[in-house]
A and B are shown apart, each in its own frame.
Chain A
Amino acid sequence: MSRKIVVGFDGSDASRRALDFAITRAQAQGDSIVIAHVLEWSPYSFLSPTELEERHRRRKEELQRAETAILAPELKRVQAAGVPVATAMRYGHIAETLCRIANDEGAALIFIGRMGESGIAARLFGSVAATLAQVSPVPVTIVP
């Protein structure tokens, strides 16, 4: 049976490893992949008047840049590996948004790369992996 795997992808080496691993799994089991790119965003941040004015334009630019620079090359790579693939781009809190994408897509699994954060920063701000482990609606695979 074909399942959907949501791969959290931000262009980093760790996320590339997660995608590579997802490709091997998908090839082995006939699964499909959704490459999910989340742009960190909080609706409760503070902006200056000029930032407000330009926000809509910036958002379009950011989405376009992410599409061409980050997602497009990977899309080709996954297609070349013979795996059915789609992309998703959203703004929001990274872990929460990945969960929402998994829900919306009816995905069975979430794959992410381990960023290797440890120590005080991770304790204070939490890591995406730790948050996902706690709130994800589907099994999460963390690729080192």
Chain B
Amino acid sequence: MKTTMTPFTKTLAMAGLLGASGAMPAAAQGIDETVNQIFASSTGWFVNLIFSSFPGTNVPWIVCWLVIAATIFTIYFGLIQIRAFGHALALVRGSYSDPNDAGEVSHFQALTTALSGTVGLGNIAGVAVAIGIGGPGATFWMILAGLLGMATKFTECTLGVKYRNEFADGHVSGGPMYYMTKGFAERGLPGGKILAILFAIFCILGSFGGGNMFQSNQAHAQLINVVGDYPGWITGVVMAVIVFLVIVGGLKSIASVTEKVVPFMAVIYVGTALIIIAMNYDMIGTAFGQIFRGAFTWDGAVGGAIGALIQGFRRAAFSNEAGVGSAAIAHSAVRTKEPVTEGIVSLLEPFIDTVVICTMTALVIIITGQLITDPETGMFVLNEAGTAIATESGNSGVALTSAAFSQTFGWFRYILAVAVVLFAFSTMISWSYYGLKAWTFLFGEGQTKELIFKVIFCCFVVIGAAANLGPVIDFSDAAIFAMAVVNIIALYALMPIVKSEMNSYLSRLRSGAIRKFD
């Protein structure tokens, strides 16, 4: 660990180390340790840059950047996330789809594919990290960030569809790289090309970090939690081989099985969470009390209310990826004459991901009493290092979520292990695609070039599983937030275009010029 780290990142990293080292004895970890040290020392500067705080405070500027953007989009588009929510559901149901276009990508398919990239470990492990450090109050800020993030997602996905590239053979490529170059040119703004290149570089890093290493890391953590300890590189190699078979070998069967199983896993996860919450219905009031109190007051969590806010916003952004630009890549393949319709559909994404699924995880952890409080003062008790709230099981991250669910249903940790591995896998597949799009944007399309990217991607699967949680989570967040820095600049520049598209569409919808088909 570098000594130049900010207190905040250091806190997080230490919390991660503690959580991971609790489960792993030092012996037989030789390879893992080496990987971990090299990794931590080579990425520290990047992490520090992204997570540096405003001078004299411990508020990371990147968190403000995301929240201010989401607030501006929410106001600028006149609470589009509330106004268009019902219409979003109708679009997904297919009420406005022309039956003659059947066989093309539907709104439902674009949404679920984008969701399978975001619903994953952020919802299970990330939330546990946030609550473990920021306390229950982090949940409040996480939900708020999710609601605001819907407007950001709307903006980027509308642009993603509007400025996508359609090739002569019928395949499409879209995403921030394209709206940065084409959109800026259309508005006569300079710098579109530079932004696009920067975005593509960060997108590649993000695809190695949050979209890859964090996933294999937490999948491994969950596996050792169930089957007992073994070195991380073994999980890494196995997962890397499977990912390799899918993205290089074109083993579509694995990918399509995952695509079909993941939504059911998500339903099982939310369903089980609801059952646990219902079984502890007498605790619901207390839990919400803790969430609201913790959001605004000092309740003993690390960093108090500000700590809760930072954790909540940070995990929400990491989980639903609003403003990051990844969703704009996934959504751009939909077949629609109106780019705004896909923007409207995409605003459901942060809602499902953060407001529904993340909140379930948070409620289960709080309701099952995983966080230790002082019986006299009612304040949370910190662990020995003072970096996170002490937990009943001594766990953090995915293991904490697992402990919370298993307290009610002992067998659930096996289901959770399967879910985590599948979520991790589907997120990796999605991010390998996002990374590849950025890669081909920079270097051009071509079999050898694409193969190089895919092989590097698989190597990072192994590194992720072998390294400890702390450095991995820091680098993952840093890379993904770096994408957001560039992407949001472009969103500000192009938001008038989205607004005129939106106004035109909504007025035609009201006048009945846009027809319902069923």
* Residue numbers in B under 8 Å from A41 (CB-CB): 102-103
Knowing A54-B171, A56-B172, A59-B104 touch, does A47 contact B429 (C-beta < 8 A)? no
- Does the CB pair A46–B171 fall under 8 Å? no
Bound complex: CA A53 to CA B255 (Å): 15
User: Which among B34-42, B77-85, B108-116, B216-224 touches the partner chain?
Assistant: B108-116
* Residue numbers in B under 8 Å from A125 (CB-CB): none
- Does the CB pair B103–A48 fall under 8 Å? no
Q: How far is the CB of A58 from chain B (nearest CB, A)?
A: 8
Q: How far is the CB of B439 from chain A (nearest CB, A)?
A: 14
- Does the CB pair B109–A91 fall under 8 Å? no
* Residue numbers in B under 8 Å from A97 (CB-CB): 102
Q: How far is the CB of A87 from chain B (nearest CB, A)?
A: 15
- Does the CB pair A43–B94 fall under 8 Å? yes
User: Which among B24-32, B233-241, B256-264, B275-283 touches the partner chain?
Assistant: B256-264
Q: Does B15 contact A (CB under 8 A)?
A: no
Q: Does B182 contact A (CB under 8 A)?
A: no
Interface centre among B105, B173, B260 (most CB of A within 10 A): B105
8 A Cβ contacts from B115-161 to A: 116-117
Bound complex: CA A141 to CA B462 (Å): 60
* Option from B106, B329, B330, B430 in Cβ contact (under 8 Å) with A43: B106
* Option from A45, A56, A63 in Cβ contact (under 8 Å) with B109: A45
* Residue numbers in A under 8 Å from B110 (CB-CB): 52
Q: How far is the CB of B240 from chain A (nearest CB, A)?
A: 18
Q: Does B99 contact A (CB under 8 A)?
A: yes
- Does the CB pair A56–B170 fall under 8 Å? yes
Q: Does B333 contact A (CB under 8 A)?
A: yes
**What mask results when residues 33 to 67 of chain A are scored 1 for a CB within 8 Å of chain B, else 0?**
00000010101111111111111110110110000
Q: Identify the closest chain A residue to B255 (Cβ).
A: A48
**Secondary structure at chain B's binding surface: helix, strand, loop or mixed?**
helix
Q: Does B359 contact A (CB under 8 A)?
A: no
- Does the CB pair B117–A56 fall under 8 Å? no
- Does the CB pair A49–B433 fall under 8 Å? yes
- Does the CB pair A49–B105 fall under 8 Å? no
* Option from B94, B259, B329 in Cβ contact (under 8 Å) with A46: B259
- Does the CB pair A56–B105 fall under 8 Å? yes
Interface size on A, residues (CB 8 A): 26
* Residue numbers in A under 8 Å from B329 (CB-CB): 49
* Residue numbers in B under 8 Å from A51 (CB-CB): 256
- Does the CB pair A92–B99 fall under 8 Å? yes
- Does the CB pair A49–B429 fall under 8 Å? yes
- Does the CB pair A48–B109 fall under 8 Å? no
- Does the CB pair B112–A46 fall under 8 Å? yes
Q: Does B374 contact A (CB under 8 A)?
A: no
8 A Cβ contacts from B166-187 to A: 169-173
Bound complex: CA A49 to CA B330 (Å): 6
Q: Does B335 contact A (CB under 8 A)?
A: yes
Q: Does B395 contact A (CB under 8 A)?
A: no
Q: Does A90 contact B (CB under 8 A)?
A: yes
- Does the CB pair B102–A92 fall under 8 Å? yes
Q: Does B97 contact A (CB under 8 A)?
A: yes
- Does the CB pair B169–A57 fall under 8 Å? yes
Bound complex: CA A55 to CA B116 (Å): 18
Bound complex: CA A52 to CA B263 (Å): 17
Q: Identify the closest chain B residue to A44 (Cβ).
A: B108
- Does the CB pair A53–B97 fall under 8 Å? no
- Does the CB pair A44–B171 fall under 8 Å? no
15 of the cross-chain contacts (CB-CB < 8 Å) are: A41-B102, A43-B106, A44-B109, A46-B262, A47-B109, A47-B256, A48-B252, A49-B117, A49-B329, A49-B330, A53-B171, A55-B104, A56-B172, A59-B104, A91-B103
Contacts A46-B259, A97-B102 known; 10 new A-B pairs at CB < 8 A? A43-B106, A44-B109, A47-B113, A47-B256, A48-B256, A48-B258, A49-B333, A49-B430, A56-B104, A63-B103
Which 3 A-B pairs give the minimum distances between C-beta atoms?
A91-B103, A57-B170, A43-B106
